[in-house]
Structure 1
Amino acid sequence: MNAHLPAAAEPRRHRLPGAVLNCSVTGAGPAVLLLHGWPQTRYAWRFVQPLLEQHYTVVVPDLPGFGASARLPGGYDKKSVAAILHALMSHLGFATFHVVGHDVGGQIAYPLAACYPASVSSLIFVEAGIPGLGHSERAANPLLGGSWHFGFNMLDDLPELLLAGRERPYLEYLFRRDTIGLFVTEAIGDADLDVYARALAGPGAVRATMGYYRSLPADIEDNRALCRNAPLAMPVTVVGARYGIGLGWLDSVREAAPAVSSHLIEDSGHYVPEEQPEQLVSLIGTTIAELP
């Protein structure tokens, strides 16, 4: 048993068409699906889940290719991953649910909401946006203030070669860098880094998780088509962090949804679910409470 999680949150594996997902379901009430970012796992929600499950049913999967979920041979474009997650929620018996996506999880949350609007009651992007819309191309361009890791992670074969046996130093650099890293440094300590490093060092994990970056050209085309044909009608919120991406992705979300609310969390870097879980849970609760 993982010492960092309560027994009730222990996950189980769910066999779906085309994928096996590791997922926990806790609490009672309206369902909230939490989608973690890269390079993390469902462990990223360890502080949010116990707070949220007091009022909601909280569904927390390892995304396909991450953690203890299956490494797929391909199909890491966000539209395909969204289909798997929709199948998971149907498998669990949830016809409608709220979605909270951090980082890459937010990129998946968009096609999930756009392709299955009858299922998604509300959508919250946390330090995330929609590739291909707004000025999102800046995120991948370090000359314009974006992060270099987009280009590195998109390369074929090289990340697998260079990161073999060096997963922990790479993650330590990402989490502890001054720009778009942690502001609350103790939120991801040495033991937590070990958890993420072990996950990334698993067989096929680097290849699988880099697939989310290598799929970005396809995601951009998919997102532009969805934006033209399926504007989001559900309540949409963008949550940024003062010392993370902030609201730099807000324009991309506004292009896809007619009404978007936004919030900037102070005293947090990019990893809001771990740095400021109480504030994030409060925002989630407020968003759901304001629904008609």
Structure 2
Amino acid sequence: MSKKILITGASRGFGKLWAQGLLNNGHQVAVTARNVNDLDDLVHQYGDSVFPLQLDVNDRDACFLAINKVHEHFGAIDVLVNNAGYGLFGAIEETTEAQARMQIETNFFGLLWLTQAVLPVMRAQKSGHIVQVSSILGLVTLPVLGLYNASKFAVEGLSETLASEVKDFGINVTMIEPNGFSTDWSGASSVQTDASETYEPLKKAFNESLTPDIWGKPEATVKAVVNMIESESPPLRLLLGKMAHPFITSVYEQRVKSWNDFKEISDAAHGA
């Protein structure tokens, strides 16, 4: 059955690939970008099945207006895919206030505004699916991505809470958690802090660890995401990529060991 879907950040990368996959499966898809002209190729290829919109997710009023436009155009919004975002690379000490605020504004607040805007529509429908594009870096961390890590940890906390709040309205929530993929997330779409010599050894070691085999192929995610969106019982979390599961499992095993090692001290802190 055809769904009415809104995908933000659809001019490139995951957003564009997933939009194409969903359109190829007969769904109607609204797509957004900061520059609406970047969506022309989708319009030319798919015609009336695609609805392009200019949107800066940092503008709360514009987010609410976009939801209204999509709802008026399609008559419903079955799925919202909050995909817009970018990576900020650099040590925490190097990060300026403006860079930190913009990272959180885009990756977290933009997602929040669209989520808030779509909820009344989905509650009235008594159905819906909110898909939040998070990252494995919302569950574990890597150096020189501190603010990005923080933004995705915030997305995880928000979205898990949201799932418990809206399940009785017939609304599902899914967090997509990819490992590294060879999109331009770490290239043209990324922002870099001004480098300092202090962190150069750390950055050098980090960059050397990014061997070609760790990067997944973005095109390979399409089937998984389309199947998840078409599922009657979508998961709360969906890992993408073969590096995700072993990395997260290893980190969580270390966390559990640490919690167990200090359990006696932790219990004693409760008091009598």
Q: What TM-score bracket applies, with the shorter chain setting the length?
A: 0.3 to 0.5
Which structure's CA Rg is the greater one? Answer: 2
Structure number having the greater helix percentage: 2
Q: TM-score, normalised by structure 2?
A: 0.41
